[in-house]
Structure 1
Amino acid sequence: MGVYWAIAVRSFRRFSTYRIATLSGAFTNTVFGFIFCGVYLTLWEQRPNLGGYDVTDALTFVWLQQGLLVPIGIFGARTTVELGERVRTGEIAVDLYRPTHLMLWWLSMDAGRAAFELLARGGVPLLVGSLVFDLRFPSSPLQGFAVGVALAFGILVSFGIRYLVALSGFWITDSRGLEGLALVLSLFFSGTILPLVVFPGWFGEFARATPWAATMQVPIDVWLGQNLPARALAFQLGWIVVLLLIGRLATVLATRKVVIQGG
């Protein structure tokens, strides 16, 4: 495991070099936080307790959402985008020659990236939002611990989805079209546009059962106390097992299929 830890550390250092981009991103997330707050305040003024959220919950959701977009990889992440590009160009052959497991290598890369983004960008929008609005925070150390685990699980679920999309290039030649579809699904079903709790009936139940819900909606609900930690973590863990097992199978099948595009 030492080699994977080293990979994660080097990935953390790599992303920490992009200081101006990180500051610009945090500023952009903060601006969008205020825009979303205006929209949510109008919506919750018309529909108090919409989806079981009060106004404080809704505003807290906004600032947590803006802080977690990049660490979780809702818009995709540079690490898995690079993996998809290496599959497309044939450079993945170099990765397959390494005496490491392909999925664990890229998981370590993504873990280092996510750790840096969480530390550097995750807390800035929340800090700014808490200075302007009355937000909700975990009420006990146990709840705070559950939030930390839920965040880690959310990143793992996100990686599992993004890894499968990247590996699809072994069969469909170019994964960029599927990346675009995955982005749309991620934006809608993760809670980026609206909290999934506002969707009623069978559609709401379906949305909250998807793996994308486990990436951001579930960790935020644990933070807000809207979901029992044990049930929430079990839901995330179930999707982690499913996605990583499929990822393992896809890796085995991919290594048997040599497809080199332009490399």
Structure 2
Amino acid sequence: MFGPSLEGPTSVRVYAELARRAWQRQRAYGNANLAGLFTNSFFGYIRVVPLIAAFASRPEISGYDRDAAITWNWLVQSLITIVALWGWWEVALTIRSGEVAIDLARPIHYLGYWLARDVGRAAYSTVYRFIPILIVGQLVSGLRWPEAPWLTWPAFLCSLILALFTSFAWRFLLNLGAFWLTDYRAIASLGLVATTFLSGFLVPLAFFPPAIRSILEVLPFAAIIQTPATVFLERAEGLDLALLLAEQLGWAIVMLGVAHWGAQVAMRRVTVQGG
């Protein structure tokens, strides 16, 4: 279905090269990335003001104190570009232009090809968005850093990688809709609404009523934003932390499996739109 596949060390080198080139591609848009960094930092500041006001009259809201809520705010701002929270439509664009035929002819797995590119993009965002935004947050309002860094930072790194995989699979599935639809903007809107409202980006999921929260916490969208934030803030420890990461791993595996299945279905019904 995807053409002859490379195997062994050669395949690993190819994926690594794809990730490296994706990193280089992001570097070519230095001014745009600086503008994005400024925008994320600005909105981080705008959002932190009402949070400070909300905690002026109460010490805690749904288990979050003032410092935890402020840290959550800057953290989710720093994660936006890593997980491409508001969309990524490169696959859909290649389907519309007809370039997908070239991608399918490559001697590499179609899903793996795009995943490697997304890893490179996310790695760039980690260095040039995630870290700078946290620095801005520390300077502007202060952050709550992990009290057990030897445990929390490795756990957070694992959670961040799993969040990326889950997010990628979701975005890839949305992109596959372009095989059947001439205009993918409706799908883009669906994805935007789902990730914005269900992931813990607007407010921590703990702020929702218990009945709604219990549903949102078991959906894959929570694995994209809320779970990494929970790990960073050390709101889960010991067995709870292990179970949280296991659940996130489960969603990453399930979503990537569904994405692979979706690609197989799409390949059986290939219709190149456009050129």
Asked if these proteins are the same fold (TM beyond 0.5), I'd say yes
Q: Which amino acid aligns with 2:81?
A: V
Q: How many residues align?
A: 260
For residue 175 of structure 1, what is the aligned residue in structure 2?
184
Which position in structure 2 is the counterpart of 1:148? Answer: 157
Instruction: Give the 5 Å matches for 1:179-218.
Output: 179-218=188-227
When residues 254 and 37 of structure 1 are mapped into structure 2, their CA distance, relative to the original with a 3 A threshold, is: same
Shift in Å, 1:47:
4.7
Indicate whether 1:232 and 2:244 are aligned.
yes
2-side partners of 1:241 and 1:197: how far apart?
Answer: 25
Structure 1 contact 90–259 (Cα < 8 Å) conserved: no
Contact 1:8 1:109 (8 Å CA) reproduced = yes
2:169 is matched with 160
* Partner residue, 1:96: 104
In the alignment, the residues of structure 2 paired with residue 47 and residue 192 of structure 1 have an alpha-carbon distance, to the nearest angstrom, of 22
**d(CA) in 1 for partners of 2:59, 2:221:** 26
1:28 Cα deviation after fit: 1.1
Aligned pairs (5 A) from 1:15-164: 15-77=26-88, 81-139=89-147, 140-164=149-173
Q: Compute the displacement of 1:132 (Å).
A: 2.9
State the alpha-carbon separation in 2 of the partners of residues 39 and 108 from structure 1.
39
Does the alignment pair 1:6 with 2:42?
no
- Aligned-partner residue type, residue 104 of structure 1: G
Structure with the bigger percentage of helix: 1
The aligned counterpart of 1:262 is: 274
Mark the runs of 5 or more structure 1 residues left unpaired by the alignment.
none
C-alpha distance in 1 between matches for 2:152 and 2:212: 29
| 1:241-260 Cα distance to aligned partner (Å, 9 max, x none) | 11111111111111111212
Amino acid at match of 2:156: V
Q: CA RMSD in A?
A: 1.3
Query: Cα offset for 1:217?
Result: 0.8
Larger deviation, residues 247-256 vs 98-107: 247-256
**Structure 2 letter corresponding to 1:58:** A
After TM superposition, give the deviation of residue 16 of structure 1 in Å: 1.3
1:98 partner letter: R
5+ unaligned residues in a row in structure 2: which ranges?
1-11
Q: TM-score, normalised by structure 2?
A: 0.91
Q: Distance in 2 between matches of 1:43 and 1:197?
A: 15
Amino acid at match of 2:262: A
Which range moved further: 252-261 or 154-163? 252-261
In the alignment, the residues of structure 1 paired with residue 55 and residue 220 of structure 2 have an alpha-carbon distance, to the nearest angstrom, of: 27
Residue 172 (structure 1) shift: 3.1
Normalising by structure 1, we get a TM-score of: 0.95
Residue pair 1:150, 1:218 contacting (<8 A) in 2 also: yes
Deviation at 1:117, TM superposition (A): 0.7
- Report the CA distance between 1:20 and its aligned residue: 1.0
Identity of aligned residues (%): 38
Q: In 1, distance between residues paired with 2:55 and 2:78?
A: 21
Output the CA distance in 2 between the equivalents of 1:31 and 1:262: 39
Tell me the SS of whatever aligns to 2:229: helix
Deviations 1:124-170 (Å, cap 9, x if unpaired)?
12111112323211222111100111111111110010000001222
Task: Give 1:223's aligned residue.
Answer: 232
Q: State whether residues 88 and 261 of structure 1, in contact with CA within 8 Å, keep that contact through their aligned partners in structure 2.
A: yes
Query: Secondary structure in 2 aligned to 1:161?
Result: helix
